[in-house]
Amino acid sequence: MNKTDANTRQGSYKSNTINTQDSRMRRHEVTIELRKSKKEDQMFKRRNINDEDLTSPLKELNGQSPVQLSVDEIVAAMNSEDQERQFMGMQSARKMLSRERNPPIDLMIGHGIVPICIRFLQNTSNTMLQFEAAWALTNIASGTSDQTRCVIEHNAVPHFVALLQSNSINLAEQAVWALGNIAGDGAAARDIVIQHNVIDGILPLINNETPLSFLRNIVWLMSNLCRNKNPSPPFEQVTRLLPVLSQLLLSQDIQVLADACWALSYVTDDDNHKIQAVVDSDAVPRLVKLLQMDEPSIIVPALRSVGNIVTGTDVQTDVVIAAGGLPRLGLLLQHNKSNIVKEAAWTVSNITAGNQKQIQAVIEAGIFQQLRNVLEKGDFKAQKEAAWAVTNTTTSGTPEQIVDLIEKFKILKPFIDLLDAKDPRTIKVVQTGLSNLFALAEKLGGTENLCLMVEEMGGLDKLETLQQHENEEVYKKAYAIIDTYFSNGDDEAEQELAPQEVNGALEFNATQPKAPEGGYTF
């Protein structure tokens, strides 16, 4: 057990319900799991492998003709004084590096072609030579970090940034692609690209006349400029991208939308100040609208952005609710992709960690019916997030809201069933929720009724089993609940509390005033 878990609920997080650090840690875990589990995530590096590909700026008539020269012959040609031989060698090197399988990047680096390519980048009298050199360097930078570092260390970045202003749109686009690969390598490489004023270079390139393939590459580069932590990118630079990214959320192109959403998901995965900058860009209503798209590659980053925003302040969460976020989250809880259901449940759990008005909005949107379905038959990771949503409600909600969980939404049985989970953290979440329910029942004089309900649903048996659990906190919590609420009566008292048959139906604690029609009330 870590220190964060030990201090759970001692700190302050959105109306004093969840430890802030714990919530941040959980958000990070969810993000990492999603990133690892799905291939539909954004690509951080891209290699230009096909002349005929629509995303390739160069359209040659002869396609990818086989490379006839050896590496030594290629390098000799590139070092020639004859311009035609230079171009032939450069193009041959590029084609070799554009092989779909096993391009000989290290071999080419070892033969010293990187500084030659960078020299060609500066040959403003030969645009085609510049282009071939840029393409070759793009593919070298698409490789490992060591390969990318070789391009950086030979000072390619300022030359690529200069090429953003080229009169050749193909050359400018290839420079964008190369810079995207370099920035995608990690925080250090990203910051080198930013320090060379790349944002000044790309912002003027975006207008109504920008060709779609070019725009896609620019937005992908922008997303890589926002990505990575330790350290995060300099925010005074990133914030310059936000108005453009927000406007791009109105695009009709799937790839542009997806990369713009990814960029905003990276920015919002940080402190409230950065979340507020995204809110101020008017991105939230646009992100919420994208949640209804029938396209997982857009839903995933849009949902992650919205989920990050509701980890912020109550006011920031209210912006998502006001934009109609809750009904869309309710629909996503029914999505056929389990990772989307999981992240939707995680987002709801952060809203139920808010204030009572926000919890009421969740109730009125009918989301607890969907959460019950997730608890009953969802993927386990989604069930875990749904359990957090319930426990947060038992912590933050009014007595009426909490009673609704049991009485109106019938949450208790599937919630208790998660005590059988293999994951100790999930068990502890459920135990915390149960402890909160018992604390409320005690205040309302309904402890005996709740004990009977929990026992009837198999909860007492599960808690007793958990007293043998290998996790110390799990068994201590199980013991505490049993000792506090289930161990102070004798057989005679239990007999009195047994359900009585009234008009052919079982009624709990018949000696107490009758519960309202429709269910149990504490």
Q: Please spell the DSSP secondary structure of 159-214, one letter per residue.
A: HHHHHTT-S-HHHHHHHHHHHHHHHTT-HHHHHHHHHTTHHHHHGGG-STTS-HHH
Across all residues in the chain, what is the average pLDDT?
87
State residue 100's pLDDT score: 83
Structure confidence at residue 53 as a pLDDT band (50, 70, 90): very low
Return the minimum-mean-pLDDT range out of 75-89, 96-110, 282-296, 495-509: 495-509
Q: Is the per-residue pLDDT at 137 higher than 50?
A: yes
Contacts of 12 (CB under 8 A, 6+ apart): 19, 20
Tell me, what DSSP letter sits at residue 240? G
292/422 Cα distance (integer angstroms):
34
Q: Locate 133 and state its tokens.
A: 């050199």
Q: Locate 295 and state its tokens.
A: 């396209």
Q: What is the pTM of this model?
A: 0.85
147/110 Cα distance (integer angstroms):
11
Residue among 397, 321, 311, 316 nearest 350 (CA): 311
pLDDT in tens, 84-112: 999 999 999 999 999 888 999 999 999 99
State residue 65's pLDDT score: 52
CA atoms lying within 13 Å on the CB side of residue 149: 6
> No. of H helices and E strands in the chain?
32, 2
517/502 Cα distance (integer angstroms):
13
pLDDT in tens, 384-419: 999 999 999 999 999 999 999 999 999 999 999 999
Q: Which is it for the CA torsion 292, 295, 299, 301, positive or negative?
A: negative
State residue 68's pLDDT score: 77
Q: What is the greatest pairwise CA distance in the chain?
A: 105
188/244 Cα distance (integer angstroms):
24
As a whole-number percent, the residues of the chain with pLDDT over 70 amount to 82
State residue 252's pLDDT score: 97
Average pLDDT over residues 59-70: 55
All domains of the chain in start order, with CATH: 71-196 (1.25.10.10), 367-488 (1.25.10.10)
- Amino acid in position 435: S
Residue among 111, 117, 116, 193 nearest 152 (CA): 193
213/162 Cα distance (integer angstroms):
20
Question: Around Cβ 416, how many Cβ atoms within 10 Å?
Answer: 21
Residue among 464, 459, 407 nearest 430 (CA): 459
Return the minimum-mean-pLDDT range out of 135-149, 276-290, 425-439, 478-492: 478-492
449/447 Cα distance (integer angstroms):
5
Count the residues in the chain. Answer: 522
State residue 334's pLDDT score: 98
